[in-house]
Structure 1
Amino acid sequence: MNVQERLESLSPTDIGVDGPTAADMAKVFRSVRRDPLTFLSRVTRQYGDTVAFPVPGSPAVLFNDPQDVRQILQTSARNWSKQTVQYAALARVTGPGLLASAEPNWIEHRRLAAPAFHHHRLAAVGEQVRDAARDCFGETLGPRSDGDIVDFSDLMHRVALDAVGRALFSTDLSSRTDDLLDATSAAAELIVRVGRSVVPSAQWTPTRTNLRLRRTRRTMGSICADLISARRARSSDGQHGDDLLGLLLDGGLSDQEITDELITMVIAGHETVAAALSWTLMLLAEHPQMQQELRSELTGHHNPSMLTGRDQLPWTHAVIDETLRLYPPAWALSRRSRGEEVVGGSITLPAGTLAIISPWILHRRRSDWPDAETFRPERFLGTTPPRQGYIPFGQGPRLCIGREFAIGEMVVVLAELLRDHRISLPDGWRRPAHQTRVAVHPSGGMPLRVDPIRSA
């Protein structure tokens, strides 16, 4: 039976919610796999904020009403688990780390890791992030001729990876950058491939995808094992430090559990920030006056740090917030109901229902966001910026543990880059298409023109 015949044979559970038929899905199957965000946008326009998809057994439903999203992710979060294909695919690389874990022990791991992201820790690691940015920019951007074209997607990956290594592991990963970038890029591709498989293969079968997954996991596991052994070797008093690696070592976790969390942070911690910075620079290149306003604010502030808040840098934070609205790195979240659930006061869902939530679609809901497709940072200025239906880092108890770290890192990196460089659009500019992997990346990179700003 081919894919189209399999789809057309489905007999989904009827929950009284509209959505495409199995025949509809069969017709667009390939395009959905290639570009799921465009498909989700289209079905939301066609069927409304709640869309049911034809799957066998328990229903699969897209929720795009902010109140329904809040119920699933926050107020009724205990009734929903991460036992979904999306997170199972991620766990094939990361293991049951904080991001992918559906197990009860995730909360204990979160408590162990949390001090690495506290305010006092962010103040201490800001200089490490700044050093990572300076080293990467110094090596890649200077000295340069006016008008050189740079792939800022690649550059931001290198900056973000170096920042994760220095800030969370107190380790310069520059000597392993190429290995890690190759491994994380392969991991992102394979996670998506496994997650979108119609009939995923068992992990033990020697398929090409499974073999590549094992090689990728071995590469990242080997690097993490080196980090763990090196830290143990230099910790003579039994205390391993207050960064993430040290906290995990002192927390009594097994080496395998520590490795799972380190791989999670390497992938999630640099993929999301790199993607967000790439889109930010594109939007600033498209809006040079906004870029100049941001540059003036950053250079007018003495040494912006990871703790420089929106009251001190309102425009900078508004630009970041608006970028994360238009290009949220985590483009889809999923949950599975543990028991029967009533969502929105009227939709009764059986146990095992798959809830799909897309921040990308939610952030473009026109009733909440006037002129939703337009880059307008000013919507986040003022005493009460809009937060209804705004979840770039998730919501509820599984809210991203690195949220403040990520935003602070973006502030520091932007300050280091834009102080000495002007970013603009190259001749013949066309916006890159979005590419849905672990995060939403620009397809084919982000080639932008860079010019040094010379002192008068």
Structure 2
Amino acid sequence: MPAIPGTKTPFWRRAPKLILRPLDYFEDHYRRYGPVFQVGEKPLSIYVADPAVIQGIFQADAAQFHIPPQSPGGGLTFLLGDQSLLLLDGARHRRHRRLLMPPFHGDRMRTYGQVIGTLTEQVMASWRPGIAFNVRAAMQEITLRVILKAVFGLGDGDRYDRLRYLLSTLLEGLGTPFSAFFIFFPRLQQDWGPMSPWGKFVRIKAEIDALIYAEIGDRRQHPQPNSSDILSLMISARDEQGEPLSDGELHDELMTLLVAGHETTASALTWALYWAHWLPDVGKRLHQELDTLGQTVDPLSYASLPYLTAVCQETLRIYPVAPTTGIRIVSQPMTVAGYEFSAGSVLFLNIYLVHHREDLYPEPNTFRPERFLERQYSPAEYLPFGGGHRSCIGSAFALMEMKLVLATILRHWQLELPEGLRHPLKPVRRGLTLAPPGNLRLMPLAQRVAQPQALPLG
């Protein structure tokens, strides 16, 4: 069995390029070593961009893998806490996953769909013809309002206003390439006072924690059995032994939903709006499809539109917000599709490289939604939300939110990119994720009125 090719260059020498130019980092290794390659020595990290191997990993027993034990402040515990679904393993991971799944399926989605449309319209109400707006800031405002309403049931009040402000400030502070060094090198997490970068973060995070615990306490004292928000459902949920989630578990899962559900969707929406205006044919076809719905529309009717769905899928393909899935550590030696992985190997399934394979996606650097109308991809070929037993539980919610926000904006406004934008945009590092440049702007020209027509989509 052939050895896995790669490099033994130590992490501290590889890290600057991984942090500051991640796509170049992945592409350079792919060209040099192929779709499965290893880096470092202890621990040995293996990047996988071979769908056959990924399929084998997704189908393997969950006991074949584990994630590293979380130390206080290490990894993402400083942001999410050590009881986040993203950081749990084994039985605790299965328990939390079972308790958190129900709010993201079934009739709940219809309720959230109405909320998403209404909150998008609220943000759009401040737009004025001839006055450009920052796209990322607007999308963050929408997704944050959606999360606070859908997760907490909050739509106004002092606690809502304070959480909005603090979360925006916190995530903006963590949204720079420089901030990624705090994540990759936890020893940099030093509190040198309220004016130091980490000191600011610590104090903002402490106030957010206090607000979340206060909201949990209020809900426990005053239950809302008929409420559809996720916090109410999480508080009432019980495991197989009849036990609820503790306050600490609730807090950490709420932080996970706030961070993962807000930041990632805002980035994806920013990209989608960019592509719809950078490529006029894409925007034209979207408008034509949306106009077939007429004047009065149930927001959830957007979810079934094929070209809108394809645009969102292609947005998540060409520049996935997360370039790799979460860490999987091999618990015992295993062989998958001709590759042998030793115990202790750290596996990263590389979403970006899979999505840019020429054999799967001809002209992979071209934004072409039609590819998703022409063929169906397997979970190992298209994996923006990961896969297997650690797939994102909010994937259906995120995709629905993308479609509803994008459709609502395009139905209501005619927008254009600034004239000075002459070259295609490239992703930049934003903490652990990749995002569009933060200075992208769009100019509202006029409000639109739907023009009813039929659009052949065959």
Out of 109, 112, 115, the residue aligned to residue 102 of structure 2 is 115
Distance 2:320 2:103 in 1: 24
Report the CA distance between 1:288 and its aligned residue. 1.7
Report the AA paired with residue 133 of structure 1. Answer: T
> 2:456 matched to which residue of 1?
none
Out of 445, 448, 455, the residue aligned to residue 451 of structure 1 is 445
Q: For each residue in 1:388-426, what CA deviation from the matched residue of structure 2 results, as whole angstroms up to 9, or x when unmatched?
A: 510001111211111111111111111221112123221
Report the CA distance between 1:307 and its aligned residue. 6.6
Report the CA distance between 1:108 and its aligned residue. 1.3
Q: For each residue in 1:272-320, what CA deviation from the matched residue of structure 2 results, as whole angstroms up to 9, or x when unmatched?
A: 11010000011111112221221222232252534754xx401100101
Distance 2:319 2:70 in 1: 23
Report the CA distance between 1:379 and its aligned residue. 0.6
Out of 325, 335, 338, the residue aligned to residue 328 of structure 2 is 335
Instruction: Give the unaligned 5+ runs of structure 2.
Output: 238-243, 452-458
Secondary structure of residue in 2 paired with 1:119:
coil
Report the CA distance between 1:188 and its aligned residue. 5.1
Secondary structure of residue in 1 paired with 2:76:
helix
Could you tell me the TM-score, scaled by structure 1's length?
Answer: 0.86
Secondary structure of residue in 1 paired with 2:410:
helix
Percent of residue pairs identical: 27
Distance 1:94 1:385 in 2: 35
CA contact (8 A) 1:90 1:191 kept: no
Q: Does 1:269 align with 2:293?
A: no
Q: For each residue in 1:323-366, what CA deviation from the matched residue of structure 2 results, as whole angstroms up to 9, or x when unmatched?
A: 11112122222211111122322x32221101122211210011
> 2:173 matched to which residue of 1?
186
Distance 1:249 1:27 in 2: 46
Q: Does 1:235 align with 2:229?
A: no
Change (3 A) 1:20 1:131: same
Q: Does 1:157 align with 2:164?
A: no
Distance 2:307 2:364 in 1: 19
Change (3 A) 1:100 1:443: farther
Distance 1:222 1:324 in 2: 34
Change (3 A) 1:113 1:188: farther
Q: Does 1:37 align with 2:28?
A: no
Report the AA paired with residue 344 of structure 1. Answer: A
Q: For each residue in 1:206-265, what CA deviation from the matched residue of structure 2 results, as whole angstroms up to 9, or x when unmatched?
A: 7967645533431321231232233334427xx473431012212321111111011000
CA contact (8 A) 1:335 1:356 kept: yes
Secondary structure of residue in 2 paired with 1:259:
helix
CA contact (8 A) 2:112 2:150 kept: yes
Change (3 A) 1:305 1:145: closer
CA contact (8 A) 1:359 1:392 kept: yes
Number of residue pairs matched? 429
Change (3 A) 1:202 1:157: closer
Change (3 A) 1:16 1:396: same
Out of 63, 68, 91, the residue aligned to residue 77 of structure 2 is 91
Report the CA distance between 1:74 and its aligned residue. 3.6
CA contact (8 A) 1:17 1:50 kept: yes
> 2:52 matched to which residue of 1?
67
> 2:277 matched to which residue of 1?
285
> 2:337 matched to which residue of 1?
344
Change (3 A) 1:372 1:203: closer
Q: For each residue in 1:59-83, what CA deviation from the matched residue of structure 2 results, as whole angstroms up to 9, or x when unmatched?
A: 2111110111222234344312232
Out of 407, 417, 436, the residue aligned to residue 399 of structure 2 is 407
Distance 2:254 2:336 in 1: 36
> 2:455 matched to which residue of 1?
none
Change (3 A) 1:78 1:307: farther
Report the AA paired with residue 362 of structure 2. Answer: P
Distance 1:228 1:84 in 2: 27
CA contact (8 A) 1:187 1:216 kept: no
Report the CA distance between 1:115 and its aligned residue. 1.5
> 2:111 matched to which residue of 1?
124
Q: Does 1:433 align with 2:418?
A: no
Out of 89, 100, 114, the residue aligned to residue 102 of structure 1 is 89
Report the AA paired with residue 367 of structure 1. Answer: D
CA contact (8 A) 2:302 2:407 kept: no
Moved more, 70-79 or 270-279: 70-79
> 1:259 matched to which residue of 2?
251
Report the AA paired with residue 227 of structure 1. Answer: E
CA contact (8 A) 1:422 1:450 kept: yes
CA contact (8 A) 1:153 1:274 kept: yes
